[in-house]
Amino acid sequence: MSDLTIVRGKRTVAQRILGFFGNSIVNVLLLIIAIFWLVPSVGLLLASLRSVADNSSSGWWTVFTAPAQLTIENYANLLANPTITGSFWNTIMISVPTTAAVVVIGSLAGYAFAWMEFPGRDWLLIGVIVLLAVPIQVALIPLARLFGSVGLFGSIFSVILFHTAFGLPFAVFLLRNFFLQVPTELLEAARLDGASEWRIFRTVILPLGLPAIASLAIFQFLWTWNDMLVALIFTNSQSQPLTVAIQSQLRQFGSNIDVLSAGAFLSMIVPLIVFFAFQRYFVQALLAGSQR
């Protein structure tokens, strides 16, 4: 009844204390979780910035007691290694064309499924949805033979083809769903004006579907960039991407943590930049369809 209660609202002091504590418990809990989630990446970063000798005698957390030991020597060594730099370029040469191909082919098919009327459309679409969940393992042996017989085996092109094909079901399904959101009136008006389907695709669908295409492109890029299994089988030492080059270090040296940590962090830099720059689109792609 006093002024105090009016100013502070309806809750009693006890409730307020409880509320504050409940809230801060959640805060502290999530803070601890966040730290736990960060430790692995931060540890890798710090290990990659320590010298070979330091890494073999003590853990990365000792940098907090002796901060002077940081060095970029590992990265310098890594970038002076032609195998690593070559594989870095290979990774780009694989990821960029794959992403472009998936986006172009996927948006063409996505438009057809969303806005064109043709016999068997639903069955074809169900076929695409079925293929969404096909594990890549079923294609490894036959495609290794197929690519071998046409002389593609061991080349970057074989990996591009593989990822493009297995990226398509997701791309088609995702883009179909997005393109369906384009207002019907827009398309009908364009068709009545006599615009060709190709023209509608270019001038109406593509501009309006740009956020969806961006989502897909980021997702596909990261997926191709991070792949190891396909590249492990289909590339040779000249065409291998970064992931394969790094894992061969793991095989060769066992626990050569400095080369490994610098290499692993190098392979993470581009995905992390993409992630932080475009995380909105990345999340959109996940929400739109996640059956990979």
The residues in 141-180 that bind other proteins, with binding defined as CB under 8 A, are 141-144, 146, 161-162, 164-166, 168-169, 172, 174, 177-178, 180
With H, G, I as helix, E, B as strand and everything else as coil, classify residue 291.
coil
| C-alpha angle 31-32-37 in degrees, rounded to nearest 5 | 95
Interface positions, 89-128, toward other proteins (CB under 8 A): 104-106, 108-109, 111-113, 115-119, 121-122, 124-126, 128
Comparing CB distances to other proteins, the nearer of 3 and 120 is 120
Comparing CB distances to other proteins, the nearer of 4 and 200 is 200
In the shown chain, the binding pattern of residues 38 to 77 toward other proteins, with x for contact by CB under 8 A and - for none, equals: xxxx-xx--x-------xxxxxxx----------------
Of 65-73, 80-88, 92-100, 274-282, the window that binds other proteins (rule: CB under 8 A) is 274-282
**CA–CA dist 167, 146 (Å, integer):** 19
**CA–CA dist 269, 234 (Å, integer):** 24
Tokens of 84: 């690593």
Q: How far is the CB of 130 from other proteins (least distance, A)?
A: 5
φ, ψ dihedrals at 87, nearest 5° = -70, -30
Q: How far is the CB of 157 from other proteins (least distance, A)?
A: 12
**CA–CA dist 193, 179 (Å, integer):** 20
**CA–CA dist 103, 214 (Å, integer):** 9
CB 132 within 8 A of CB 170: yes
Interface positions, 14-33, toward other proteins (CB under 8 A): 23, 26-27, 29-30, 33
Of 96, 132, 208, 214, the one binding other proteins by CB under 8 A: 132
Comparing CB distances to other proteins, the nearer of 3 and 185 is 185
- Is 214 among the residues that bind other proteins (CB under 8 A)? no
Q: Which residues, other chains included, contact 248 with Cβ-Cβ below 8 Å and sequence gap of 6+?
A: 240
Interface positions, 245-264, toward other proteins (CB under 8 A): 246-247, 250, 254-255, 257, 260-261, 263-264
**CA–CA dist 206, 13 (Å, integer):** 58
